[in-house]
Every structure is written in structure tokens, then in C-alpha cells.
Chains A and B, each alone.
Chain A
Amino acid sequence: MSATDTPFERAGDPYRVGRSRDWVSTGAGRGHVYATGHGEGGPASKRVIVGYGFWIFLLSDIVMFSAFFAAHAVLQTATAGGPSGRELFNLWSIVAQTAFLLVSSFTCGLSAVATEARNQLWTQVALLVTGLFGLGFLVLEGRDFAGMVMQGAGPDRSAFLSSLFAVVGLHGLHVSAGLLWLGTMMAQIFVKGFRADILRRLVCFNLFWHALDIIWVALFTVVYLIGLGR
């Protein structure tokens, strides 16, 4: 499972876009025939396997979210005489949450740049800032939730509120788990340095954090923007 195998060296970078046609030599299939993890290239490298597996996990996670989104779409108008989104949502708090999350994604990206340069200090700083923004997001979201529960608009008030608390709460739960993971990663980088397996985990963490952003964009649109119009 080494990164370079002989056909790879023989023919340059098999992953390069637009190269696939050069590879139809044996008639045994098209595409990156000789690249590891493709066609006839043999097993992929560990880096590719881990990243690929994590992508599949993220897709499955998005399927789970989509079930909660579907439930919310069905129940969005089922307010059972209780308050609707228009009466409950505090747009400025949601804008702040969005900003916090997007900035944290940006700093997460910066941490990846620092990791690429193998810079321990800046990686740690960028991850810490990412975590703080994530924490800020959770605080704001928790404040909104608490406020709603205070005014008698908790998840047990109506099906609309049930699905709202569930889908937004699930995202919040993911952010919380992400924070735990982030703290663990920071400790690991500190103790063990940029080992190959730590680097693979950092790639996965980056993917996870950005995926949470994508889900938030959907949440912002489906739950809050559409909800405000109801």
C-alpha cells in the first residue's frame, strides 16, 4: 500500500483531470485504471481509504438529517394553536449564529493550512479559535432554546416545535460532539505531533466541521427563512 507503485511512476499523475483517455490501453475499463484504489491499481493508500470512508459517513449523516428535515417540512404548519416561527424566531440571533459558524469554518480552514506547513503553534491557535466560535454558537443557540421554553414554546407544545427543537438540536449535538473531538485532537497534536494517523484524523475533522456548516445553511433556509414566512 505504498504511495508510489510502478505504473504510477511510469505514467505520471493518474488523477489529473482529463487524463482518463490516455489510460484506455488494455481495454479493461476506463478511467484511472492504474491508480491505486481505482480500476486495476490495487488497494488505495491509507490516506485515501480513511478520507473516503469518512466521506461515506458524512453522506449517511446527511441522510439522517434529511429525515429530520422531511419531518420538519411536514410538521412546519402543525402549530396546534401555539406560536409559529414568525412569533418566535429572533432573526438577529440567528444571523449571529450563522456568522459564528461560518467564521469558525474559516479558521478551521486556516488550521488546515497551518497543519500543511507543520506549524504546531498556528494549528493550535486556529483550532482554539474554531472551538471558541463553535462554543459561542452553542451558547447563542442554547439561549434561544431557553427563551422559547420560558415563554411556553418548548418542544412539547406542538408538533411544529417538536420538529424544530429536534432538527436544530441535532445539529447542535453534532457541534457539541465536534467540540469534544476538537479538544481531543488538540491534545493529540500537542502530545504526539503531526504523525501520519493524526494527520488523517485532522482531515476527517475538517471535513466534519465543514459538513456541519453545509447543514446549517440548509437549516437556516428551511427552518428559519421559510419558517419566518409562515
Chain B
Amino acid sequence: MFGKLTWDAIPWNQPIPLVAGAVVVLAVFAVVIWVVLKGYLPYLWREWITSVDHKRIGVMYTLLGVIMLLRGFIDAIMMRSQQAIAFRAAGYLPPEHYDQIFSAHGTIMIFFAAMPIVIGLMNFVVPLQLGVRDVAFPTLNSTSFWLTATGALLVNLSLVIGEFARTGWLVYPPLSELPYSPGVGVDYYLWALLISGVGTLMTGINFVTTILKIRAPGMSYLRMTIFCWTALAANLLIVAAFPILTATLGMLALDRYLGFHFFTNDAGGNMMMFINLIWAWGHPEVYILVLPAFGIFSEVISTFSGKPLFNYRSMVAATMFICLVSYMVWLHHFFTMGAGADVNAFFGISTSIIAVGTGVKVYNWLFTMYGGRIRFTTPMLWSLGFLVTFTIGGMTGVLLAVPPADFLLHNSLFLVAHFHNVIIAGVVFAAFAGITYWFPKAFGFKLDEGWGKAAFWLSLLGFYVVFMPLYVAGLLGMTRRLQHYDVAAWRPWVLVAGIGIVIMMAAAACQVIQFVVSVRRRNELRDATGDPWDGRSLEWATTSPPPPFNFAVLPNVQGAEPYWGIKQRAIETQQLSPEPKYEPIEMPRNSPTGFITAFFCTMTGFALIWHIWWMVALGLLAAYAVFVWFAWRDAVEYSIPAEEVARYDRERRRAREQWLAQHGGQPA
């Protein structure tokens, strides 16, 4: 009846996951009960769960990412503390549990923290910067989000029902094959990623179409912001890379479920093919994450330097160059495969060359700041911290790109320190810069600067204290993923890293406090004009938060940095442009399709993991039924009458005129 699922699946004898799981389950229940009792459920259902508004979906993506970031961070704390005490000792985490933690840490951080935050920010910002009302396929967008949430749910479910993979975050065979991983851990991994991967692929399709086909009149390619360019590059990479992930994990699933021999030891299977395929996805994935991060930094640095971005065109060229070359470097993840000197030399050189594109960007950011009037706000601090820290990470990357050096450093903590150096400084700092920068646009009030700056300085310090020692430990020969060790020379470095994680915890606490304090002080932090940072691109042309339709009239773009142009014209002439003619706006209706699809996908995924075949059939049947039901709908859009649009826009213009009267004399 329930396949492999029995009461033994719950880890009764392991107090840590049991208690953690119980706390999470209780917290979720408490929230649900609070929502129901307060009567917020209809509101949540109408305005958020079924919403197809790109801004709402963006906020939900980001929220999911931030929660998962905390979840992955707890794993990090456990690993650092385990290694700090497991010198010639067993520590407090048994090996099979420790192995699950480092696997879950990587999986959660990449797929369910970094990706949702990056995709969430793209969702929120890209249509606004392009000057349009929504993405190309709004309901598909909602479905993408809910499928990602399904994946996150399945991974977290493994904490209390069954187990997670013990294979590392990329489930290398043959360890991940059935004989060596007979439990459900790898299956949780496979189905969580296969389902959320479909969601990500649909996001990629959606955004490529949006950026290439839906832009405001006059918004030619070379007038788009760098964030839109990097979003385009990242989504092109998603479209070209995520199908490879789906195929690869599909093959592993066939091996495990139906006795295929793609990657097995026997019958001609080829496990190095898995490593090649997974990194043919995995390296572009690095750039899927970091290119939008570069875009965020470009926006932030230009805004807070009060200057247009230095050498915009070379920035575009560098972005597309990285987009292309990111497909030609995957083998540097396994120089030790033994592909031979020629192959390794090719990939070593291509890896070094990709740093050129990044170097161009770093110089452009520096020259953007040169001669500018820099405002050291929280987003700007994150950007400066990124510039310094990321450059160090890039340089250790170039060291690792040299195959002979890589033979020594492969799978050592030097590697671990390197990729954390680029991902934390690149993606995580960008996430916080972006969240702080666009938060007022999303919610109408700024985040508290004091706590934000405290979070930044503690994060920066904590990062260096954790990872610089790990570089040294790696050079001393310490390999990654050690549950315990007995080399005395590594001990002090591991201890320092353990202290660093405490600093990082303080930084995380500051972030949480920052949100709480900001919400409480929201009236003082209110953004009345919609342009709190003296911005340059179109998202600042509308109110904070923007109306569902974003712009009362689609902006007519007449140059790069369109909003800066509008603003300067208004300051020069001391008046806004004449009131446009308002027309009714057609907007897509909300739809529960995404949520229902995800519900049945969760059901199907769970059933597949536990071999509950009748439930698999039921889930697939239901998914098809939802598809037909959605296709059958007749009313797709609703109309916002012209009077309402006019009422909204006149109010916005009043606020702008007020601002102009106060600040008109000098350019803000």
C-alpha cells in the first residue's frame, strides 16, 4: 500500500533531526493556525498563492530563497562545529548524518537558496526595467515558482521522513547507484531536482522570451540595463544547461529504478560520463548565478556613484562573452579524470580566459566609481565588499585552473575555500545588495541602514575568518568532507574557521533584526516618491510599491538610462511631462494552476521516492486533468478601467511634483 514507507522511516533514534524536524513542523503548524485564525487565508490565496503578478512571484521566490539560505546556514554551522571538535574524536555527528548534512548544504544552497533569490530578483526587476507590465507567460511563471517550492519541500521532508543523500551535492556514481546507496536519500535528491529543474527551465524560457520580445517602445537592446543583459545571458544559459541536468538525473533515476546501466560499474556503464554531463550543466550554472549578481552590482555601483556605468558596451560584450565561454570550461572540475595533457591544457587555458571577461567588468566598476560622488549605503557596501573579496576568489580560481596545481589541490579545502569565496562574495553579497536596493520598490519603505551595515561588516569579517584559514588547511593537505581527522597541523586553522562561523551567525542575526526593525519603523522609512535612491532606470519611474500594471502608460524610451533622462528634463523645465491619455489596461487573471500542479507534483515526487506506484499514477492523472482544466478556461484577462489608471497616475504625479518643488533647484 505505501511502498517502502513505514514508521521506521522517521529517525526515532536520532535526536538531532527528530527535534529539528519537530520544531519546524510545529512552527509551520503555528503559522498556518495563526493565518487561519486571523482570517488571512483568503487574502493569501487571492493575492499571493494564486497571483501571476511578476512582482508578487518575485517576492515569494526571494522569501523562499532567504528561508532556505538560513536552513543551509544551519547545516554550515553544524559542519564547522563538528570539525572544530572532531580532532582525534568522534564529534557529535555520526558519519552517516554528517554526510547527509554536507550533501544537503550544497544542494539547498545552490538550488533552493541562491537560485530562488536570483530568479526572484530577476522576476521583480526585469519587467520593471524593461518598462512593461509583466513577463511573457505569467501563469507559467507562477507554476515555475511553485515547482521550485515543491523541490525545496521534498528536500526538507527528507529531514524527518527517511534520509537525504550521503553522496555530496552532485551525487556522483557509482556511490549514488543502488548497490551503494540503497536508501531513499538519493531518490529525494533526484526527484526534488528533477521537479524544480522543470520549474527553472520554464523560468528560462519565460525570461528569454520576455527580454527579447517584450520591451517598452524605444527600448532597443543597447538601452537595456546591464541587469537585464545579465538576466538575458543567465536565462539563455538556463535554457541550454538545465535540460542537460534533467537528462543526466533522468539517466541516474533509470539506473536506480529500472536497472539501466548508464553509470554502473558493470555491464558497460560509464561513470565518468555522469561527471562530464553533470558539469556540462554545472559550470554554466555557476554563471547562471553570478551573471545576474554582476548585473545587480552594476546597477548599485552606478546609482550610488551618481554616474552612468563606465563603458556600458564593453560590459555587454563581457557578459555575452562569459555566457558563451562558460560552456567551454566544464572539464576543469575534474582535471584528475586523466583526459590527457592536451585536453587538460585546453580547459586550463579556456578557464583562465574566462577571467578576462570578469576582469573587464571589475575595471568598469572601478572606473564607474572614479570621479563619482559615492554614497556609502548598505547596497553600496555589499558591492565594495564584493569587489575586493571576489577578486581574491577569482585569483585562487586562476590558480586552480592550472592543471598541475589542480592535481594537488583537487578536492581539498583549498577548493572549498575558493568556491565559497566566489559564491559568497559574488552571489550572496549580490543577493543582499539587491534585496536592500529593491526592497523599498517592493514594499514602499527602506530597510534600516544601521542594522544593514552591521550585517555587512560582520558578514565580511566572518567570511574572511572562516575561509582564509580553510585555504591554508587545504594547502596543508586537508581534504573536503572530513567527518573527523587526526592531523595536528590542521587543527588551529579549523578552529579559527569555527570562530568565524560564530561571527557569521551574528551577521545573520543582524539581518533578521534588520527586517524586524525596518518593519516596525516603516513609517519613518517610507518612500513617498518611488525613487528613494535617486535611481537611473525605469523601475524608479513608478510608485513604490508599483501598481499591478506597473506603468499607467508604457514609457517611451529615448535613450540609455531612460528614467534619469525623464528626471533631468523635469528638473530643467521645472515640470513633469504633460499628462498622457489614459486607456484601460488588460491584465492576466490570477490562477491557482501553478499551486495545484505543484501539489500533485509533490504527491507524485513523494510517491516515486517511496515506490508508492498507485499514488504516482494518481498524481500524473491529476496533473493531466489540471492541464486540461487550465486550457479550458475562457476568461484569461481582466480589464482595469481608464479612470482607475488615471486616478493612480495622478496621485503619482502629485507626489513627484511635490518632490520637484522641494528639490527642483539642484539635481538631487
- Point out residues on A near B: beta carbons under 8 Å: 28-29, 33, 37, 39-44, 48-49, 52-53, 56-57, 59-61, 63-65, 67-68, 70-71, 74-75, 78-80, 82, 155-163, 165-166, 180, 184, 188, 192, 197, 201
Contacts and interface: CB of A to CB of B under 8 A. Distances in A.
Contacts of A53: 136-137, 205-206, 209
Contact of A42 (B216, B258, B260, B273): B216
Interface in B163-220: 201, 204-206, 208-209, 212-220
B229 interface: no
A60 B242 contact: yes
Interface string B521-556: 000000000000000000000000000000000100
Interface residues of B, number: 56
8 contacts: A29-B221, A52-B213, A63-B244, A75-B268, A159-B268, A162-B255, A166-B262, A201-B631
A49 B211 CA distance: 11
A201 B636 CA distance: 14
A67 B209 contact: no
Nearest to A68: B247
A68 B218 CA distance: 42
Contacts of A75: 262, 268-270, 273
B240 A63 contact: yes
B136 A49 contact: yes
Nearest to B272: A74
A70 B267 CA distance: 18
Nearest to B633: A197
B205 A57 contact: yes
A63 B220 CA distance: 29
B261 A39 contact: no
Q: Top 6 closest A-B pairs, CB basis?
A: A78-B268, A159-B268, A67-B247, A64-B243, A42-B217, A156-B259
A79 B261 CA distance: 11
B628 to A, nearest CB: 6
B251 interface: yes
Contacts of B259: 155-156
Of A43, A59, A75, the most chain B CB neighbours within 10 A belong to A43
B213 A166 contact: no
Contact of B212 (A41, A52, A184): A52
Of A28, A42, A192, the most chain B CB neighbours within 10 A belong to A42
B266 A64 contact: no
A166 B273 CA distance: 15
B254 A44 contact: no
Given A43-B216, A53-B206, 13 more contacts: A29-B222, A39-B221, A42-B217, A42-B554, A43-B132, A53-B136, A63-B241, A71-B277, A75-B273, A79-B268, A159-B268, A162-B255, A184-B631
A180 B627 CA distance: 11
Contacts of B204: 56, 60
Contacts of B205: 53, 56-57, 60
Contacts of B627: 184
Of B137, B213, B242, B248, the most chain A CB neighbours within 10 A belong to B213
A157 to B, nearest CB: 7
B268 A37 contact: no
A219 B204 CA distance: 27
Contacts of B636: 197
A20 to B, nearest CB: 14
A43 B214 contact: yes
A171 B331 CA distance: 29
B551 to A, nearest CB: 12
Given A155-B259, A156-B260, A64 B244 contact: yes
Contacts of B201: 60
